[in-house]
């Protein structure tokens, strides 16, 4: 029986809570969930919240290697079961997080908005940001850097790296940048590359219209219209 899996971005990485039931179902549902969004999870750190599941060291080791196969690091195991905590310790895993990290930010609940992070720095080659909510960067995103966000991506600077907005499937996500020249841009399951830029740069916004990736001048007053938008690059995934 498939069980629900919840994923939430926290300071240390992704807080993943498998559904309650028997562990076999929970484990296979978890893997299914990870496999459904491989890009999103690849390279992230997982904090697994196990509730009262009684797991042995061998189960945790299996979990850890299943995560590793999918490019996910196991940061720590949170459990209410003392035996599970002990088993996690014996594997050298973290078993607690600083208190503040688990608190829901009051603003996001009040506005019922999505969690977001703000980075005031240039992302350089090799930097990688995975976040389930929106990502805002005040700085450049250089070639070789990547941002994978569950929501939208806003770059107040040059965007020349790789970005994936709506990585969990949200087709309303957008990507905006002062200079939108990404190596590769994806929204949900659609991908495009940038043609070499000629002439002056201007702020642009990329979004999905009828299954096509469209980039157009970024002006907060206009509602994006598919018809006027120029197609940026070819859709490489049809």
Residue number, 33 or 160, with CB nearest to other proteins? 160
Residue number, 140 or 216, with CB nearest to other proteins? 140
Residue number, 90 or 201, with CB nearest to other proteins? 201
Rounded least distance, CB 114 to other proteins, Å = 27
- Lay out the site mask for other proteins across 103-142 (x = CB under 8 A, - = otherwise): ------------------xxxxxxx------------x-x
Which residue(s) pair with 47 in the sheet? 15, 76
Q: Number of residues in contact with other proteins, rule: CB under 8 A? A: 14
- Lay out the site mask for other proteins across 66-105 (x = CB under 8 A, - = otherwise): ----------------------------------------
32 vs 18: CA distance, rounded Å: 11
Interior/surface letters 39-51, b for 16+ CB within 10 angstroms, e for the rest = ebbeebebbbbbe
Rounded least distance, CB 160 to other proteins, Å = 7
Residue number, 134 or 158, with CB nearest to other proteins? 158
Q: Out of 94, 143, 203, 233, which residue is the one contacting other proteins (CB under 8 A)?
A: 143
Residue number, 134 or 160, with CB nearest to other proteins? 160
28 binds other proteins (CB under 8 A): no
H or E element in which residue 32 lies: helix 23-36
Q: Considering only residues 174-203, where is the footprint of other proteins by CB under 8 A?
A: 200
Long-range contacts of 143-150 (CB under 8 A, 24+ apart): 143/183, 144/183, 147/123, 148/39, 148/40, 149/173, 150/9, 150/40, 150/114
- DSSP 8-state class, residue 140: -
127 vs 138: CA distance, rounded Å: 15
Instruction: Name, in order, each residue with C-beta under 8 angstroms of 234's C-beta and a sequence gap of 6 or more.
Output: 192, 193
Q: Which of 192, 196, 200 is nearest to 236 (CA)?
A: 192
Name the site residues for other proteins (rule: CB under 8 A): 121-127, 140, 142-144, 158, 160, 200
């Amino acid at each position: 029986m498939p069980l629900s899996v919840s994923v939430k971005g926290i300071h240390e990485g992704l807080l993943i809570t498998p559904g309650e039931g028997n562990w076999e179902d929970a484990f296979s549902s978890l893997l299914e969930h990870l496999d459904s969004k491989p890009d999103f999870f690849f390279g992230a750190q997982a904090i697994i919240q196990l509730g009262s599941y009684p797991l042995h060291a061998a189960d945790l080791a299996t979990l850890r290697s299943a995560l590793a196969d999918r490019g996910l690091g196991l940061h720590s195991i949170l459990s209410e079961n003392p035996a599970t905590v002990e088993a996690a310790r014996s594997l050298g895993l973290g078993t607690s997080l600083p208190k503040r990290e688990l608190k829901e930010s009051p603003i996001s609940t009040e506005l019922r908005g999505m969690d977001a992070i703000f980075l005031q720095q240039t992302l350089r080659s090799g930097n990688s940001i995975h976040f389930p909510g929106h990502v805002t960067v005040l700085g450049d995103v250089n070639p070789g850097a990547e941002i994978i966000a569950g929501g939208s991506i806003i770059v107040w600077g040059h965007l020349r790296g790789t970005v994936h907005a709506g990585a969990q499937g949200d087709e309303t996500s957008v990507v905006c940048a002062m200079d939108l020249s990404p190596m590769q841009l994806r929204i949900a399951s659609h991908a495009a590359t940038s043609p070499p830029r000629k002439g002056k740069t201007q702020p642009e916004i990329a979004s999905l219209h009828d299954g096509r990736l469209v980039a157009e001048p970024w002006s907060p007053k206009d509602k994006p219209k598919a018809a006027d938008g120029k197609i940026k690059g070819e859709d490489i995934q049809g």
